[in-house]
């Protein structure tokens, strides 16, 4: 690594470029945080009761000292600016002390997102040999076996999905055959439900004459023809003395001749199918 030899008998040419090199050394430290990732606990930060100890954390590419205390919900970054007086008598901000701690601010980070890293030496490598294979090779073999095993989800399984199609997880697709339809179990004893995958049914129904309930004659057996003063054929029907009845009619025509809704109460969902 780069280094300075400040111990010189005749002094040291201390210029701003030397300070810039020192600042670069600080920046190099930040790169170590990337090993474990953003919002990581590098060291310290031990929870004891409701208090968290001091330590170091990595936030958005910056390695920061963490000043502990009573644990709260969020972590913030505090920056203290220090001014020094120059030869011309003016003071300028030249030192910026930054650290993380618990608190509330415009920019804050949930404490529960911070995870503790682990020592990389705990990761088995191909150099750490065992009797006939390395720990790393053993791990690869176990992963390969797991990948070769069939999924516990059988291919073709259809499930109800209550979120947008864009959120369907990998290995699944929309089961288009059930768009706008309800599933019915196969019944080999019923011709209407004996073929797997066959569609049927309608949202509305219009009754045919054969489907209208039987209506018995009312108060008589004869039929009146025409209106008031009209002729009759057979007997007069009960107390019906007037009305616009055609010959052969017992009841005056009524109704709108419209189809009616067959739908039960429902909620719209997607059906998705596992394809592996």
At 237 the pLDDT is 43
Mapped onto helix, strand or coil, the DSSP state of residue 263 is coil
Q: How far is CA 191 from CA 9, 128, 211, in A?
A: 106, 67, 21
Alpha-carbon distance 90 to 95, whole Å?
Answer: 15
Per-residue confidence (pLDDT) for residue 230, from 0 to 100: 47
DSSP 202-236: -SEE---GGGSPP----S-S-EE-BSTT--EES--
Amino acid 77: pLDDT: 96
What pLDDT sits at residue 89? 86
For residues 96 and 23, give the distance between their C-alpha atoms in angstroms, rounded to a whole number: 12
d(CA 237, CA 217): 9
Angle, CA 272 vertex, CA 271 and CA 275 arms, to 5°: 155
Q: What are the tens digits of pLDDT across the range 222-242? A: 444 444 444 444 444 444 444
pLDDT tens, residue by residue, 155-211: 889 999 999 999 998 889 999 999 988 898 888 998 888 888 888 888 898 888 888
Tokens 């025509």: give the residue: 253
d(CA 213, CA 254): 15
Within 8 A by CB and 6+ apart from 6, the residues are 12
Cα 229 from Cα 220, distance rounded (Å): 20
pTM: 0.42
Neighbours of 66 (CB within 10 A): 23
Q: What are the residue ranges in the chain where pLDDT is below 50?
A: 126-127, 129-131, 219-243, 245-246
- Name the nearest CA neighbour of 199 among 223, 217, 230, 177: 177
Instruction: Identify the DSSP state of 168.
Output: P
């Amino acid at each position: 690594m780069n280094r300075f030899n400040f111990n010189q008998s005749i002094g040291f040419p201390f210029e701003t470029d030397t300070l810039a090199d020192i600042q670069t050394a600080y920046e190099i430290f930040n790169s170590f945080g990337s090993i474990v990732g953003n919002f990581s606990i590098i060291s310290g930060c031990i929870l004891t009761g409701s208090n968290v100890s001091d330590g170091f954390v990595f936030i958005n590419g910056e390695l920061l000292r963490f000043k502990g205390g009573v644990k709260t919900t969020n972590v913030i970054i505090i920056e203290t600016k220090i001014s020094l007086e120059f030869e011309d008598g003016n003071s300028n901000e030249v030192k910026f002390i930054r650290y993380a701690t618990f608190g509330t601010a415009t920019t804050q980070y949930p404490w529960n997102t911070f995870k503790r890293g682990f020592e990389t030496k705990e990761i088995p490598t191909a150099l750490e040999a065992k009797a006939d294979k390395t720990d790393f090779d053993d791990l690869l073999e176990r992963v390969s076996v797991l990948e070769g095993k069939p999924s516990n989800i059988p291919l073709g399984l259809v499930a109800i999905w209550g979120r947008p199609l864009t959120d369907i997880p990998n290995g699944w697709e929309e089961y288009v055959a059930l768009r706008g339809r309800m599933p019915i179990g196969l019944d080999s004893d019923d011709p209407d439900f004996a073929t797997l995958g066959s569609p049927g049914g309608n949202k509305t129904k219009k009754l045919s004459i054969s489907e209208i309930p039987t209506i018995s004659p009312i108060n008589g057996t004869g039929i009146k023809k025409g209106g008031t003063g009209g002729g009759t054929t057979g007997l007069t029907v009960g107390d019906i003395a007037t009305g616009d009845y055609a010959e052969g009619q017992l009841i005056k025509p009524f109704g709108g001749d419209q189809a009616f809704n067959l739908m039960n109460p429902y909620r719209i969902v997607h059906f998705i199918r596992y394809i592996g």
